[in-house]
Copies of this chain bind each other. A is one copy, B any other.
Amino acid sequence: MSSRTNPDPNPNKPSVVLKDLTIDNITENVHRINSQTPDPRLRYVMERLVAHLHDFARETRLSTDEWMKGIEFLTEVGKKCTDVRQEFILLSDTLGLSLLVDSLTHPTPPNSTEGTVLGPFHTHTAPTTSLGESISNDSSGNPLLVLCTVRSTNGTPLQDVKIDVWETDSKGAYDVQYEDGRAADGRGVLRSDEEGKFWFKAIVPVPYQIPDDGPVGRMLGVLGRHAWRPSHVHFLFEKKGFETLITALYLRDDPYETSDAVFGVKESLIVSLEDADEQTREKYGVEEGCKVLKYDFVLVSEEETKKLRDEEARKAMERMGREGMMIINGLPVPDVD
């Protein structure tokens, strides 16, 4: 669709002439005026954005009334956003776009841990948590002991990985959703030990509804969809030289295991909880009845991820039959002469 791949049939006319635009020629003309940007990546992103927006309108024969409803909806989504509520992220999540973008950005080879959606509830207020400490002050929750390891793809334990963990309280609310300005709860930042191990106390996660009192909740209602997410604990791993891993672990047999409102569940991230046996109870100082979540995470090197991302981007350009593109940091960019 670019002037590069579809050369202008009349190269003698001025480069930007926007007159007599019709249903058929408007897209090419918007591409042409947007091509004035000196940023080739932006030029490509805008070209694809405009092409798909216009094709969407043409294929649906989108009416003025429908589009005004769309404008009003988007305006409401924007108005609903606050410092602690990001309704556009919710919209992106519920349309599957967040998971898709995450998957494109963080490709994972088969021998590593899969990523999933970050969601809107990660913060930078989590307290530093020593190994073995509890991240939850919610005494109504069912006690959970989380015992994990983190390694590289060749099996080497990774020490001093920074691990952000966060979960809801026993009622299904994240701390940032409290209206009384309480301190951070249900979250912590840990560091793995020399054997790549990290462990902490928490509560058994519960299903919860994404905030559905806004326009996105209304959209879900009109679509006949529920707003529930299956029980899960979020994990975010950072270590120099390794690709940041944003993931979560889900509880097996959760009622929403196969209908997550934000499309985050993957089979490889579903875990079955165990009961803490006597030895574990003594070793970690937990009571009888405490559940145990075990998982071995595998991080991928930045180098390997970059190679994979470049390969996938190159394949995508081939599938599109798109020529004259370079791949820079995994992103297709027109090869400017």
- Chain A residues proximal to chain B, CB less than 8 Å: 14, 16-23, 26-27, 29-30, 33-34, 36-39, 42, 44-46, 48-50, 52-67, 71, 74-79, 81, 86, 88-89, 92, 95-106, 118, 222-225, 257-260, 263, 265-268, 309, 312-313, 316, 320, 322, 330-332
Task: Compute how far the CA of A81 lies from the CA of B81 in the bound complex, rounded to whole angstroms.
Answer: 13
A322 contacts across to B, CB distance below 8 A = 59
Q: Choose among B63, B71, B224, B268 the residue that contacts A88 (Cβ–Cβ < 8 A).
A: B71
Task: Compute how far the CA of A285 lies from the CA of B55 in the bound complex, rounded to whole angstroms.
Answer: 51
Task: Compute how far the CA of A2 lies from the CA of B78 in the bound complex, rounded to whole angstroms.
Answer: 30
A77 contacts across to B, CB distance below 8 A = 74, 78
Q: Choose among B16, B86, B223 the residue that contacts A34 (Cβ–Cβ < 8 A).
A: B223
A29 contacts across to B, CB distance below 8 A = 96, 263
Task: Compute how far the CA of A81 lies from the CA of B104 in the bound complex, rounded to whole angstroms.
Answer: 32
B17 touches A54 (CB 8 A): no
Task: Compute how far the CA of A303 lies from the CA of B92 in the bound complex, rounded to whole angstroms.
Answer: 40
Closest partner residue, chain B, to A120 (CB atom): B71
A27 contacts across to B, CB distance below 8 A = 96
Closest partner residue, chain B, to A256 (CB atom): B18
A258 contacts across to B, CB distance below 8 A = 14, 16-19
| 17 A–B pairs (Cβ distance < 8 Å), ordered by A | A16-B258, A19-B265, A19-B266, A27-B96, A30-B95, A44-B60, A45-B66, A49-B60, A50-B96, A52-B55, A60-B332, A61-B313, A63-B104, A64-B101, A71-B86, A75-B81, A77-B78
- Knowing A19-B258, A75-B81 are in contact, say whether A54-B225 is a contact too (CB < 8 A): no
